[in-house]
Structure 1
């Protein structure tokens, strides 16, 4: 132990170029200021990339797996690991740096983060590039880099089984990439067990650029706490806030799929490439339908009472085992957004995307864009390699998924994301190329939801539905993703007090609500400074024209469209309230000093 309560005080750094590993001490000040997870990962990234413009796919760009202080302790829903790196998919409108891009962070559940802490580390940093496809094995202090060439091109489901056989010990927790990551698709993901992914921002592409197929971790220790008696008392309060409650039971019943019908009815769903907010056949792919026709088992991440993950079986042409889904994002982006209401077909698309190691959100967005361009005659079947990419076509969707992962034919263009696709197609297609800073929007439509529009344009990693719809929410969520706790249980108000008490008891640093949110504000501002240094300015906080010009024609929000002037006024107010310059968006010196970032 480091002498810092709640932490090991060290990270494991593996350099794939040299084949060497070492442990590096974390300054106590960084643990107090940036906590863990997203925050500590951001500080590590800032310290390692001292100059802007580093190519995200260069050996220099670190790929970091950072749990939080809750990880590895029996705190409810403390399963999360934040994967932090520089994004290979985002870009500013103008920059003097050719490879300018945003920070990216992708938060995944499961068991990997807690196992990193069991092994004696507060994070894992991977740098360099292996000469051949390789994998890393970590067993407490024993670290090795091994040949993975025999696994080249293997899809994630088959690899998961083969890898555990290779390791000969099911106690290892593993993460890995599929063919999409090996092929450097910019929006490829990192997969961890069935249906869990670090999906957003292209972390799988960065992992692929390092010739790294997988990482396996096994540990035999556990982090300590500053005040054990206080920890146990707060732990009991946290458990009582969640276990057996109506709220927890609702998550176990339908997970996030319960929102598929609800958001469609509310007119806030992404439908037909964000043209509408209501999908008239949402009931065919929603939580009730999945519970009735598909799911046979609920399963949970580390120490979680919500059990929002699902598995089951479908039959027929697209039948097979369902590892997970539909969730809200996957069900909407591959369902409502593409006008697909065939449940087995939808689940086959979700499965294939995970199996190939792609981001579900970006993939669904890209295919929706191409469907609209095809419908409008901007592209033809020749452009699409003969695929009849019509709305609602499962077969065409499955074909496009394969081509994207392989970068085959039209897939090589589609793999570059909607921003680059629209530049290639032209003809005004940028109006319905739905992205911010190059990262595709998620499954929440915004013609009738202006606060969510603010979230998309001001989030640090490009279009992000998880960042928060206002300043207070953004600060809070940045901090939540730094603790290791899942976002979902925090909707339960009774959890707030014991969560703050747990964090204080574990770390020895006293957190009330104000201190918690100030730490989140510090993290968010450091991310902003990283992006600003890369060349991002107010002009990059821009939404596609669709949201200002194409009003909904059906549903509860029929006629809804964003007002451009009101939106710009809202942005100006946001920057002012953040303490940022309203023209450049640079955080003021006063704000940086207030947050203890004066040396940034």
Structure 2
């Protein structure tokens, strides 16, 4: 029995090749050092993949669903589940291993993580590959692998309803893949409630490679708290400060869509495949337009006062659907990025992307790249299977989305991401193929934002906008991802101290801010070690030429462009601050010893 509270200390291991299901104890040392969620998931991945170069789509690659110590407790905004695995879409510039890639971690909100804890588990580790499509059912201690052939090819919206009808119990919380995951699209996502997605890094592709359609869970337990009275006192304080924060009110009113117009006005939005930072028609797809014409419901994840998700119905040619959005990432990557300002058309695209089980960020980046290559005459309509892929075309975008999900024609190549596309097209197209380490960048443009450029370049999972713009921010966010708290809430300064205090009260391990950040630094460095072993070096922490050569031509940041020399200096300073070798980016022996990682890699 672990002396650290707030956990069961138990993982559910499922081997889909053999059908073996077992419960394993989590070493207390791992709970103390890696906390949960992202951190503990990375440590489990490290333990499983002892040799580099494992094919991410092989049965050997584990798919890990991790909760945090806050999961299942009524902590505000603490419903996150972190999916950890080796990514099928990233790759280094040079490596001795043909299947070298980064790890990836992808967060999803909603209700699945808390329910997994109610069932008595801190996480699930899935290995192997089933002979045919299957799904997993977890009902407290009862765990089964069931046949899912009848659900093959089913899109996520329909499946979300069908699986609950099959189980005859709406208390089950489910995660699942769509056709894109089944068809091994490299940036397929895992969906929950048909609108919440663990989208980044191809986690849905790995799930599909295991012939796993879904996981359903329900439970009736809850772990112990170390200091119950203290926890209740801090919990009440946390609720009050978060509920009364102006930031919370903004999330409730506008969700992330509030940034669509704001970012455009600041010149930091992704527009026309990252060519510009301002979209003159952003107001047509922003939060105010959505609130006026579309949204009818504000939706919250479990225990969350932010209610940042918005849902509504559109009318007209693309109308008749009820779905989530636009959010900032979906609205920008599938809207502004493609010069699409038709709100109903945009929501139809978002719906199809979710329904097919694709990552909206990578999908938008891939289509933006193809639109630009087509505009420049590098590819023609024959290459695109007859699709007139012009900027602003909703119908052409919908057609490409369909082809990608089913890997049909041009969709087969496009399903592998922008890196595979520019390697095929050539003609200098790599200059505007927007990715880092093979993972497409998100909706935050960087010609006028060097700190965000650093964020993208140094992210361990590839071009990640949530990585953090500084060393301290990266360590803090790694720790937040390890607790089960949503980053949107955690970014509010008024919530930072209550988070640390609640972690101490739940676990019985006393944390101050310095210790909290040190734990995040340990997680970040273990991720870096994983990538380093796969062959990633300084040359992989770089950005496409677009950001150094193509200055904005419109908007408040007109003329902005990154300076190569200054950015190199920024990276060098970053590595020194991290305690990494500035030439190779390998963490130094002194840093590994400081973080108690030296024994792990010895």
**Residue of structure 2 in register with 1:48 after alignment:** 48
Contact 1:65 1:125 in 2 (8 A): yes
**1:201 match: secondary structure:** helix
**Residue of structure 2 in register with 1:488 after alignment:** 488
Does structure 1 residue 101 correspond to structure 2 residue 93? Answer: no
2:173 and 2:127 mapped to 1: Cα distance?
20
Number of positions where the alignment pairs a residue of Structure 1 with one of Structure 2: 600
**Residue of structure 2 in register with 1:294 after alignment:** 294
- How far is 1:289 from its partner? 0.3
- How far is 1:86 from its partner? 0.2
**Residue of structure 2 in register with 1:501 after alignment:** 501
**2:104 match: secondary structure:** strand
Does structure 1 residue 382 correspond to structure 2 residue 382? Answer: yes
Contact 1:322 1:347 in 2 (8 A): no
**2:361 match: secondary structure:** helix
**Residue of structure 2 in register with 1:463 after alignment:** 463
- Aligned pairs for 1:122-161 (under 5 A) are 122-161=122-161
Contact 1:2 1:10 in 2 (8 A): no
- How far is 1:228 from its partner? 0.3
- Aligned pairs for 1:585-600 (under 5 A) are 585-599=585-599, 600=601
Moved more, 188-197 or 519-528: 188-197
Does structure 1 residue 418 correspond to structure 2 residue 426? Answer: no
2:440 and 2:265 mapped to 1: Cα distance?
23
**Residue of structure 2 in register with 1:79 after alignment:** 79
**Residue of structure 2 in register with 1:14 after alignment:** 14
CA-to-aligned-CA distance 1:520-553 (integer Å, 9 cap, x gap): 0000000000000000000111100000000000
- How far is 1:498 from its partner? 1.3
- How far is 1:224 from its partner? 1.3
2:494 and 2:56 mapped to 1: Cα distance?
41
CA-to-aligned-CA distance 1:404-430 (integer Å, 9 cap, x gap): 000000000111100110010000000
- How far is 1:216 from its partner? 0.3
1:588 and 1:210 mapped to 2: Cα distance?
37
2:14 and 2:560 mapped to 1: Cα distance?
51
**2:279 match: secondary structure:** coil
2:574 and 2:264 mapped to 1: Cα distance?
29
- How far is 1:242 from its partner? 1.3
CA-to-aligned-CA distance 1:168-216 (integer Å, 9 cap, x gap): 1000000000000000000000001131000000000000000000000
**Residue of structure 1 in register with 2:369 after alignment:** 369
1:94 and 1:545 mapped to 2: Cα distance?
19
Does structure 1 residue 511 correspond to structure 2 residue 511? Answer: yes
- How far is 1:244 from its partner? 4.4
2:177 and 2:409 mapped to 1: Cα distance?
22
CA-to-aligned-CA distance 1:358-394 (integer Å, 9 cap, x gap): 0000000000000000000000001000000000000
- Aligned pairs for 1:535-574 (under 5 A) are 535-574=535-574
Contact 1:311 1:321 in 2 (8 A): no
- How far is 1:34 from its partner? 0.3
Contact 2:384 2:410 in 1 (8 A): yes
- How far is 1:436 from its partner? 0.5
* TM-score with structure 1 setting the length: 0.99
Contact 2:112 2:217 in 1 (8 A): yes
1:311 and 1:331 mapped to 2: Cα distance?
13
**Residue of structure 2 in register with 1:222 after alignment:** 222
1:238 and 1:375 mapped to 2: Cα distance?
52
CA-to-aligned-CA distance 1:414-470 (integer Å, 9 cap, x gap): 111001100100000000000011000000000000000001010000000000001
CA-to-aligned-CA distance 1:564-595 (integer Å, 9 cap, x gap): 00000110110011000001000000000000
- How far is 1:2 from its partner? 4.5
**Residue of structure 2 in register with 1:357 after alignment:** 357
- How far is 1:3 from its partner? 4.6
CA-to-aligned-CA distance 1:88-132 (integer Å, 9 cap, x gap): 000011111111100000011001111111011111111000001
Contact 1:119 1:219 in 2 (8 A): yes
Over 6 Å off, 4+ runs: none
**1:85 match: secondary structure:** strand
**Residue of structure 1 in register with 2:338 after alignment:** 338
**Residue of structure 2 in register with 1:239 after alignment:** 239
**Residue of structure 1 in register with 2:440 after alignment:** 440
**Residue of structure 2 in register with 1:269 after alignment:** 269
Alignment gaps of 5+ in structure 1: none
2:275 and 2:567 mapped to 1: Cα distance?
19
**Residue of structure 1 in register with 2:527 after alignment:** 527
Contact 1:241 1:492 in 2 (8 A): no
Alignment gaps of 5+ in structure 2: none
1:492 and 1:430 mapped to 2: Cα distance?
38
2:214 and 2:120 mapped to 1: Cα distance?
20
**1:320 match: secondary structure:** coil
1:140 and 1:268 mapped to 2: Cα distance?
47
1:194 and 1:49 mapped to 2: Cα distance?
31
Contact 1:89 1:439 in 2 (8 A): yes
**1:310 match: secondary structure:** strand
Contact 2:2 2:28 in 1 (8 A): no
**1:576 match: secondary structure:** helix
Contact 1:451 1:470 in 2 (8 A): yes
**2:522 match: secondary structure:** helix
**Residue of structure 2 in register with 1:117 after alignment:** 117
**Residue of structure 2 in register with 1:392 after alignment:** 392
1:105 and 1:28 mapped to 2: Cα distance?
22
When the two chains are superposed, the root-mean-square deviation of aligned CA atoms in Å is 0.8
Contact 2:436 2:542 in 1 (8 A): yes
Contact 2:194 2:355 in 1 (8 A): no
1:489 and 1:88 mapped to 2: Cα distance?
30
* TM-score with structure 2 setting the length: 0.99
2:492 and 2:569 mapped to 1: Cα distance?
33
Contact 1:194 1:324 in 2 (8 A): no
**1:61 match: secondary structure:** coil
CA-to-aligned-CA distance 1:307-365 (integer Å, 9 cap, x gap): 00111100111012332110000000000000000000000000000000000000000
Does structure 1 residue 260 correspond to structure 2 residue 260? Answer: yes
1:492 and 1:18 mapped to 2: Cα distance?
46
1:541 and 1:11 mapped to 2: Cα distance?
34
